[in-house]
Amino acid sequence: MRRIRIELAYDGTAYHGWQVQPDLPTIQAELERVVGQIEGAPVAVDGSGRTDAGVHALAQVAAFSLTNPIPEDNLCRAMNRLLPPDIRILRVQETNAAFHPRFDALGKTYEYRIFRGQICSPFERRYVYHHPYPLNAEAIVELAPVFEGEHDFSAFAASDEKDRLGASKVRRVFSSRIELENDRILYRVSGNGFLKHMVRNLVGVLLEAGRGNIGREEVLARLRPGSTSRPGRTAPACGLFLVSVRYPDHPGSHNR
């Protein structure tokens, strides 16, 4: 049995997120359909994590096991031939039999793209949040780093079916920064893990601060343990991209 690691990019517009859902198009379902055809039997595909409906990926990581001896390059070509054009396999590599793209991951980086111009091109509308309203962009540049460090991000998480398990919502954010590029705001955040809707809710809070509706102290209060604040407006999925997933040099140790 071979363990295959793939890196893929996708336009998430037409999909209901990563995870398989009954009677709905998802990225995982498309991958399992295609790999199953190549293997001639059902194959489970593991991902580095779930992305929400409409979220895109520049470099998602997934893995699966198969017996087919097809060479890596041929497997890449075969998968791309069978997949819809909005999902592309970028790299295929045979890896450690114990490799798991979720449990071995050390961190992830996301980018959120906001377009501030009055007219958004129809060719970009699927990949940015169009926000042509007054905004103190310099204020949110200064505010973005407050999320760095280890915090309880309960106030920035949507309800999840895993909540009943009582899992911790403490996460470590390595970097949280905003860049201004003419009519664009680019928010890039890296961390050891992210909760459901967490990045989109971080963006939503930053935008509320940029509109002058909340201040720095109110944002900091949401990071304090026991905060009862709930997420405000969640930024739309279309502006969010999974940029990369980071792994140790020798994956397979399962960092649980």
pLDDT digit string, tens, across residues 73-106: 999 999 999 999 999 999 999 999 999 999 999 9
* H or E element, residue 179: strand 170-181
pLDDT digits 0-9 by tens, 105-132: 999 999 999 999 999 999 999 999 999 9
Residue type, 111: E
Domain span at 235: 107-244
Looking at the structure, tell me whether residues 70 and 17 fall in a common domain. Answer: yes
Contacts of 57 (CB under 8 A, 6+ apart): 8, 9, 10, 12, 27, 51, 241, 242
- Residue 239 phi, psi (nearest 5): -90, 0
Q: Quick one: pLDDT at residue 232? A: 74
Q: Quick one: pLDDT at residue 255? A: 45
pLDDT tens digits in sequence order for the chain, 256 residues long = 999 999 999 999 999 999 999 999 999 999 999 999 999 999 999 999 999 999 999 999 999 999 999 999 999 999 999 999 999 999 999 999 999 999 999 999 999 999 999 999 999 999 999 999 999 999 999 999 999 999 999 999 887 766 667 788 899 999 999 999 999 999 999 999 999 999 999 999 999 999 999 999 999 999 988 777 776 789 999 999 999 999 997 544 444 3
Of the residues 104, 125, 142, the one at which a domain ends: 104
Of the residues 104, 123, 153, the one at which a domain ends: 104
Looking at the structure, tell me whether residues 164 and 220 fall in a common domain. Answer: yes
Helices in the chain by DSSP H: which ranges? 27-39, 72-82, 137-143, 198-210, 216-222
Looking at the structure, tell me whether residues 77 and 123 fall in a common domain. Answer: no
Q: Quick one: pLDDT at residue 224? A: 87
Domain count of the chain?
Answer: 2
Integer-rounded Cα Rg, in Å, for the chain is 19
Looking at the structure, tell me whether residues 100 and 119 fall in a common domain. Answer: no
Q: Catalytic residue numbers?
A: 52
Whether residue 9 is contained in a domain is answered as yes
Looking at the structure, tell me whether residues 65 and 112 fall in a common domain. Answer: no
Tell me if 42 sits within 8 A of 32, measured CB to CB: yes
CATH of the domain at 89: 3.30.70.580
Q: Quick one: pLDDT at residue 256? A: 39
| Cα-Cα end-to-end distance for the chain | 24
Whether residue 251 is contained in a domain is answered as no
Looking at the structure, tell me whether residues 113 and 240 fall in a common domain. Answer: yes
Looking at the structure, tell me whether residues 41 and 61 fall in a common domain. Answer: yes
